[in-house]
Amino acid sequence: MIAALVAGLLAGYGIAVPVGAVAAYLIALTSRTSLTTGACAALGVATADGLYALVATVGGSAVAAAIRPVLVPLRWCSAVVLLVLAVRGLAGAVARYRERLTPTRRAEPPTGPGRAYLGLLGITLLNPITVVYFAALVLGGHSAVTAGQAQRAVFVLAAFAASATWQLLLACGGALLGRALTGARGRLATAAVSSLVMAVLALNLLIS
């Protein structure tokens, strides 16, 4: 049981800690909204990681075999989604910056917690890196993936908990960043950097 717990924590942190497009988007979203919205978005990411961990433990090698043929289309779909988010995020930031200069314009409604949760859940589910990571656990015959039901349950819950704690930490960082960059130019710069990171990672998916 302890081995399954440790394996789940390592698997969760292993997929969550590397900062990629999802992390950049989570930080930028929290910085321009609120910690509550960011926390819900973080739980959306963790839910996706937990679902993939569950699929990996339940489906076994059959899931890995089913994943192989769709990895390339999934990679393209993920790249397109990231590019759309990058363009939309930058366009929205520019629009908000202009609204600060012309306060008579109608403000764009902020992203709510529920929408943030579902949005990050969908983005993470489409992330081919997440798919490949948990597929590799299956293909490698990880002991926690092939163990009994109780060990599998512990593995999945530990993977979810590890991902959730890291994503919530990123959300807190985004909230602090949003408080530090209270000016219109600071928020515009944050959104621009986030959009650039997502665009670069999307292009990398397309050419790799």
pLDDT at 106: 46
CA 85 to chain centre: 13
Average pLDDT over residues 150-176: 87
Alpha helices in 68-112 (DSSP H): 71-101
What amino acid is encoded at 19 in this protein? V
pLDDT at 104: 47
How many Cα atoms within 13 Å fall on the side-chain side of residue 65? 4
Residue-wise pLDDT tens digits, 88-98: 777 876 776 67
Model confidence at 103: pLDDT above 90? no
Of the chain, the percentage scoring pLDDT greater than 90 comes to: 12
Element (H, E) at 133: helix 128-139
**pTM as predicted:** 0.69
Higher-confidence position of 108 and 12 = 12
Domain edges within the chain:
2-75+106-182
